[in-house]
Amino acid sequence: MTAWEPPDRPRSRLAYCCPEKMAEDREPPPLADAVQTDFREVEEGEDLFVSTVSTAEQLSPTSPEPASFPAEDISTNSNGPKQEILLDDDQEDLFAEATEEVSLDSPEREPILSDGPSPAITPVTPTVIITPRVDALFDRSLDEDEEAEENGDTFDMQITVSDPEKVGDGMNAYMAYKVTTKTSLSLFSRNEFSVKRRFSDFLGLHSKLASKYMHIGYIVPPAPEKSIVGMTKVKVGKEDLSSAEFVEKRRSALERYLMRTVNHPALVKDPDVIQFLENTELPRAVSTQALSGAGILRMVNKAADAVNKMTIKMNESDAWFEEKQQQFENLDIQLRKLHASVESLVCHRKELSVNTASFAKSAAMLGNSEDHTALSRALSQLAEVEEKIDQLHHEQAYADFYLFSELLGDYVRLITAVKGVFDQRMKTWSKWQDAQVMLQRKREAEAKLQYANKPDKLQQAKDEIKEEIEEWEAKVQQGERDFEQISKNIRREVERFEKQRVKDFKVVIIKYLESLVHTQQQLIKYWEAFLPEAKAIA
Amino acid sequence: MMQEGLDDGPDFLSEEDRGPRAVNVDLQTDATLQVDISDALSERDKVKFTVHTKSTLPNFKQNEFSVVRQHEEFIWLHDSFVENEEYAGFIIPPAPPRPDFDASREKLQKLGEGEGSMTKEEFTKMKQELEAEYLAIFKKTVAMHEVFLCRVAAHPVLRKDLNFHVFLEYNQDLSVRGKNKKEKLEDFFKNVVKSADGVIVAGVKDVDDFFEHEKTFLLEYHNRVKDASAKSDRMIRSHKSAADDINRIASTLYTLGTQDSTDMCKFFLKVSELFEKTRKIEARVAADEDLKLADLLKYYLRESQAAKDLLYRRGRALVDYENANKALDKARAKNKDVLQAETTQQVCCQKFEKISESAKQELIDFKTRRVAAFRKNLVELAELELKHAKGNLQLLQSCLAVLKGDT
């Protein structure tokens, strides 16, 4: 496992990790490689309004040019006016606006969780919004997963999401992301390829997977959340640090989402997934919009489900399920609590960074006005130390966030998906029971017919009933089979999920602790340099 | 004796010299008169300080004795110095700030109210923390009162003051009441007049370069210290908040550890333990920064104000002197009341020269003290920061070693 490495310095430029450099190996790239690019802000169209116009032309396909990283000009691809964001040096703005993630209650998220691979999170470059690359956590070469062996080839797949680009203008603008896949799996036609996708494409993918697999008990990884506030800022063209942060947060989340999805042995083979990764053009996922017909249908279904959940009282014959559900319930509560505390820590550390910077300036001023030369010098040195320390806090806050907080957030959503799967099992059981009830009724009806008085209609009715009975017997059998199948699937999925969870947490927590180690080492360095200066005051 | 800190780890006050706790002031400990606060008791809304004196001076009946004093009596003593014309040429040691436990008490109360909503462990933990905070504030206020007394005891003239001796020796209540409303109002107006006057006086250009320089220097310095003091307070508060968060994280990790059915339980428990320890260190870092940096700045904020006050008094005397000169010239010209004018002029002259002479020395001493105090505190700050960072590092590394070994 690679140690967490300290991020690079420059604060004002949005440095972005260059995907090509990732290409070299699947090890987390040392962040020293971070290339500074001009960050182009692209606006993602979070359409609340149904638009049937296929804006396929906006999905400007990137002609495969992975090798030449267009560090300067992606201009050829984007249809919209490009906007360069020049981040100012003003640190005060840094956290001036907390970007509130308002998640539209998107039904797509309700499904399932993936027991997919955990997000590989690499250290963050503090240089403003660099997020950890999703990587080595997904490094399966070390993993003795039996599914990988089933495939024949060892799992070898690396997905990166990069180059957010604003396409279009005004409220219809949206953000396009480049999705690059590197793999040796035979499922794919090439070893390396990339496409352009927009946020709703990801949601569309998730929606399809959920509808296909959720009801048979597969934990489908939830897609990242929609955010009205965040996206509106981006659309409106607000080119400040907080929208840049928002885009980076989203980019990272999308990457983790894809990696989790493809790490699921069944999902990676799914044609929709393959199409998503490979096809240069994708039909626009219109039904992900909240107010579309499909959207409304989803909302209705969701409400119905909620009601059902309350009314279905399942006779749990299998203690395993009861126990597991309780465990997940408890885990959910604790993870949410932990997540909240970590978010608070991130916030306070950012605050600490800002306040330390402000104190540094003040100390420098004090040093200037001090008329004793040696003391004056020492105070200036103190100011410098504090300035370096504020940088340190800033970096640590990023590590807090991208390593720890995002992991927790992902898992809170994943557990919602797990709970969804358990609910599906309940629904399946309920359907089976209903079928049994129907069958019973039909049999009673048949019995009644035996004692009926109208001989001429009797035979016809008897035949009908017999048919219906056969029909319902089949349904009952199917119901039982479905129930057993989903139970079996869930057991397997949960096992894989837990294994993955353990792995994820261990890796991330260790990386996080390494970041803390680094911070302390730097602190020691700075104070050791200062001490002689303080002693030199005569 | 005062309770020691509840946390494990060195009591941060014990790192200072055990004599007069000259936190922010570097004072010679002089055998002829040593003053310290040996004990303190916090009651409902007041603090009782036990002032302990050791002296070989003949003025006192015994060589060693103690009395109990409250905050108001310190203020009385300070004010008596300020009002004493004889001391106009000295930097009067700044009065210690009033002990303020309100915030802490409020928090403890809120905690008591919220007892039902948290687990027993959480409650005990938070209670311990609040108690530690209360104790820290308590120690600070004791230190600040002590420093005031030590400054007085170290001053060649002030130490002989009669009020001071009464303060030290008289073992009954000094019956010093706090100012009533009328007096407070009077004070308020006095201050307004003084500030206005201060502006006028400050405007008078001084022939003496030394004082002119000091005037400009002190003005700027005072403002910048004020700013630095405020900013350092904010920085330290953020630090404390972050430590609190880590505390909560540790608790939740602990719960997760006890609940988890997988391999993770040991992991979580170990990390929870780690965070418990690191957050104690973080809290200690914040406390030390508070003591060595924030308090230092606050103290010099008050002292620089006292120095400014001295300059004001001198300026006032200068203006009076110049006015007396003008009056004398006028009287001579009119040949009326010349003798009276001459006497006034002489008195003003003497007063001015006396103040100037001692002021110069005081200001030089002020600088020496300031440099020494900053040096001491900055060195100690750096040493403590290093100590804590190393402690933290060691904890983190050993935990990592264990965790990686298990994986």
pLDDT at A285 over 90: no
Tell me whether 0.90 is exceeded by the ipTM. Answer: no
Q: Do residue B224 and residue A365 have CB atoms under 8 angstroms apart?
A: yes
What is the reported pLDDT for B108? 80
Residues sharing a CB contact under 8 Å with residue A272, sequence separation 6 or more, in sequence order: A205, A208, A209, A212
Residues in B touching A355 (Cβ below 8 Å): 231, 234-235, 237-238
Three-state DSSP state, A211: helix
Three-state DSSP state, B257: helix
pLDDT at B336 over 50: yes
Q: Do residue B231 and residue A358 have CB atoms under 8 angstroms apart?
A: yes
| Position with higher pLDDT, A49 vs B133 | B133
Q: Do residue B271 and residue A527 have CB atoms under 8 angstroms apart?
A: no
Q: Distance (Å) from the C-alpha of residue B168 to the closest C-alpha of chain A?
A: 35
Residues 344-363 of A with CB under 8 A from B: 344-345, 348-349, 351-352, 355-356, 358-359, 361-363
Residues sharing a CB contact under 8 Å with residue A130, sequence separation 6 or more, in sequence order: A7, A14, A15, A16, A17, A31, A34, A124, A248
| Residue B390 maps to a domain | yes
Residues in A touching B252 (Cβ below 8 Å): 334, 337-338, 341
Q: Distance (Å) from the C-alpha of residue A27 to the closest C-alpha of chain B?
A: 18
Weakest-pLDDT range from A344-358, A438-452, A482-496, B269-283: A438-452
Q: In whole numbers, what is the pLDDT of chain B averaged over residues?
A: 85
What is the reported pLDDT for A304? 74
Q: Is there a single domain that holds both residue B280 and residue B389?
A: yes
| Residue B321 maps to a domain | yes
Q: Is there a single domain that holds both residue B162 and residue B209?
A: no
Residue A453 pLDDT class (50, 70, 90 cuts):
low
Q: Which residues pair with A16 in a beta bridge?
A: A35
The whole model's pTM is what?
A: 0.75
The string over B46-74, giving b where at least 16 C-beta atoms fall within 10 Å of a residue's C-beta and e elsewhere, is ebebebbbbbeeeebeeeeebbebbbebb
Contact status, residue A507 vs residue A1, Cβ threshold 8 Å:
yes
Q: In whole numbers, what is the pLDDT of chain A averaged over residues?
A: 74
Q: Is there a single domain that holds both residue B157 and residue B252?
A: no
Q: Is there a single domain that holds both residue B215 and residue B280?
A: yes
Radius of gyration of chain A (CA): 28
Q: How many residues does chain B have?
A: 407
Residues 379-438 of A with CB under 8 A from B: 379, 382
Average pLDDT over residues B240-246: 91
Three-state DSSP state, B326: helix
Q: Is there a single domain that holds both residue B91 and residue B145?
A: yes
Residue B300 pLDDT class (50, 70, 90 cuts):
very high
Q: Do residue B261 and residue A327 have CB atoms under 8 angstroms apart?
A: yes
Contact status, residue B13 vs residue B288, Cβ threshold 8 Å:
no
Q: Is there a single domain that holds both residue B212 and residue B361?
A: yes
What is the reported pLDDT for A454? 67
What is the reported pLDDT for A106? 39
pLDDT at B396 over 80: yes
Tokens linked to A299: 């909302």
Q: Is there a single domain that holds both residue B212 and residue B300?
A: yes
pLDDT at B7 over 50: no
Average pLDDT over residues A422-448: 89
Return the residue of A nearest to B248 by Cα.
Answer: A341
Three-state DSSP state, B64: strand
Residues in B touching A349 (Cβ below 8 Å): 238, 242
pLDDT at A535 over 80: yes
Q: Which residues pair with A183 in a beta bridge?
A: A157
Average pLDDT over residues B250-279: 90
Q: Is there a single domain that holds both residue B165 and residue B231?
A: no
Residues 498-527 of A with CB under 8 A from B: 498, 501-502, 505-506, 509-510, 513-514, 516-517, 520-521, 523-524, 527
Inter-helix orientation angle B102-113/B120-154, to 10°: 170
CATH of the domain at B77: 3.30.1520.10
A contact test, residue of B245, B261, B380, B384 with most A CBs within 10 A: B245
Residues in B touching A359 (Cβ below 8 Å): 228, 231-232, 234-235
pLDDT at B233 over 90: yes
CA distances from A271 to A230, A274, B349 (A): 32, 5, 102
Cβ of A391: how many Cβ atoms within 10 Å? 19
Phi-psi category of residue A56: left, alpha or beta, with phi > 0 → left and psi -120 to 50 → alpha = alpha
Q: Is there a single domain that holds both residue B167 and residue B233?
A: no
What does the alpha-carbon distance between residue A229 and residue A238 come to, in Å, rounded to a whole number? 12
| Residue B291 maps to a domain | yes
Q: Distance (Å) from the C-alpha of residue B43 to the closest C-alpha of chain A?
A: 34
What confidence tens digit (pLDDT) does each residue in B10-59 have? Answer: 233 333 333 334 455 545 556 788 899 998 888 877 889 999 999 888 88
Q: Is there a single domain that holds both residue B155 and residue B243?
A: no
Helix, strand, coil % over all residues of chain B, rounded to 5: 75, 5, 20
What is the reported pLDDT for A289? 64
What does the alpha-carbon distance between residue A355 and residue B116 come to, in Å, rounded to a whole number? 35
What confidence tens digit (pLDDT) does each residue in A57-110 have? Answer: 333 333 333 333 333 333 333 333 333 333 334 333 434 333 333 344 433 333
Domains: count for chain B: 2
Q: Do residue A378 and residue B390 have CB atoms under 8 angstroms apart?
A: no
Average pLDDT over residues A286-313: 69
B contact test, residue of A4, A527, A535 with most B CBs within 10 A: A527
Weakest-pLDDT range from A134-138, A477-481, B147-151: A134-138
Tokens linked to B72: 């108001």
A contact test, residue of B118, B220, B226, B231 with most A CBs within 10 A: B231
What is the reported pLDDT for B204? 72
CA distances from A152 to A142, A146, A492 (A): 16, 10, 20
pLDDT at A17 over 90: no
Q: Distance (Å) from the C-alpha of residue A498 to the closest C-alpha of chain B?
A: 8
What is the reported pLDDT for A48? 37
Residue A154 pLDDT class (50, 70, 90 cuts):
low
B401 touches A at CB < 8 Å: no
B contact test, residue of A336, A349, A359 with most B CBs within 10 A: A359
pLDDT at A4 over 90: no
pLDDT at A20 over 60: no
CATH of the domain at B227: 1.20.1270.60
Q: Is there a single domain that holds both residue B251 and residue B169?
A: no
Residues in A touching B267 (Cβ below 8 Å): 505-506, 509
| Residue B308 maps to a domain | yes
What does the alpha-carbon distance between residue B249 and residue B255 come to, in Å, rounded to a whole number? 10
Nearest of B220, B402, B222, B209 to residue B300 by alpha carbon: B222
Residues in B touching A1 (Cβ below 8 Å): 404
Q: Do residue B224 and residue A362 have CB atoms under 8 angstroms apart?
A: yes
Domains, chain A, ranges and CATH?
155-287 (3.30.1520.10), 318-537 (1.20.1270.60)
What does the alpha-carbon distance between residue A321 and residue A490 come to, in Å, rounded to a whole number? 9
Residue B146, burial from CB neighbour count under 10 angstroms (0-12, 13-18, 19+): buried
Indicate the residue of B227, B249, B382 with minimum beta-carbon distance to A530. B382
Q: Which domain holds residue B348?
A: 197-406
What is the reported pLDDT for B282? 92
Q: Distance (Å) from the C-alpha of residue B337 to the closest C-alpha of chain A?
A: 47
| Residue B385 maps to a domain | yes
pLDDT at B294 over 70: yes
Inter-helix orientation angle B120-154/B71-83, to 10°: 30
Contact status, residue B311 vs residue B215, Cβ threshold 8 Å:
yes
Weakest-pLDDT range from A231-245, A322-336, B244-258: A231-245
User: Phi first, then psi: what are they for A163, rounded to 5°?
Assistant: 50, 60
Residue B337 pLDDT class (50, 70, 90 cuts):
confident
CA trace torsion A425, A428, A430, A435 (10° rounding)? -160
Residues in A touching B271 (Cβ below 8 Å): 509, 513
To 5 degrees, how large is the angle CA A256–CA A262–CA A268? 160
Q: Do residue B234 and residue A355 have CB atoms under 8 angstroms apart?
A: yes
Indicate the residue of A365, A366, A527 with minimum beta-carbon distance to B382. A527
Contact status, residue A408 vs residue A353, Cβ threshold 8 Å:
no
User: Phi first, then psi: what are they for A222, rounded to 5°?
Assistant: -75, 145
Contact status, residue A262 vs residue A273, Cβ threshold 8 Å:
yes
B239 touches A at CB < 8 Å: yes
Residues sharing a CB contact under 8 Å with residue B103, sequence separation 6 or more, in sequence order: none
Residues sharing a CB contact under 8 Å with residue A200, sequence separation 6 or more, in sequence order: A44, A45, A46, A47, A174, A284, A285, A288, A289
Weakest-pLDDT range from A204-208, A266-270, B100-104, B149-153: B100-104
Q: Distance (Å) from the C-alpha of residue A355 to the closest C-alpha of chain B?
A: 5
| Position with higher pLDDT, B5 vs A423 | A423
Q: Is there a single domain that holds both residue B300 and residue B339?
A: yes
Q: Do residue B400 and residue A510 have CB atoms under 8 angstroms apart?
A: yes
B394 touches A at CB < 8 Å: no
* DSSP element (H, E) containing B137: helix B120-154
What does the alpha-carbon distance between residue B166 and residue B172 come to, in Å, rounded to a whole number? 10
Contact status, residue A422 vs residue A329, Cβ threshold 8 Å:
no
Q: Distance (Å) from the C-alpha of residue B302 to the closest C-alpha of chain A?
A: 15
Percent of chain B with pLDDT over 90: 46
What confidence tens digit (pLDDT) does each residue in B197-231 have? Answer: 877 777 777 778 888 899 999 999 999 999 999 99
Residues in B touching A327 (Cβ below 8 Å): 259, 261
| Residue B330 maps to a domain | yes
Cβ of B1: how many Cβ atoms within 10 Å? 6
pLDDT at A138 over 60: no
Question: Which residue is associated with the tokens 């080119």?
Answer: A239
What is the reported pLDDT for A456? 67
| Residue B14 maps to a domain | no
Inter-helix orientation angle A241-262/A199-213, to 10°: 30
Report DSSP letters for A169-184, one per residue: -GGG-EEEEEEEEEE-
What does the alpha-carbon distance between residue A35 and residue A500 come to, in Å, rounded to a whole number? 32
Residues in B touching A365 (Cβ below 8 Å): 224, 227-228
Indicate the residue of A351, A359, A524 with minimum beta-carbon distance to B393. A524
Percent of chain A with pLDDT over 90: 38
Q: Give me the helices (H) in B260-334, please.
A: 264-289, 295-334
Indicate the residue of B374, B400, B403 with minimum beta-carbon distance to A375. B374
| Residue B246 maps to a domain | yes
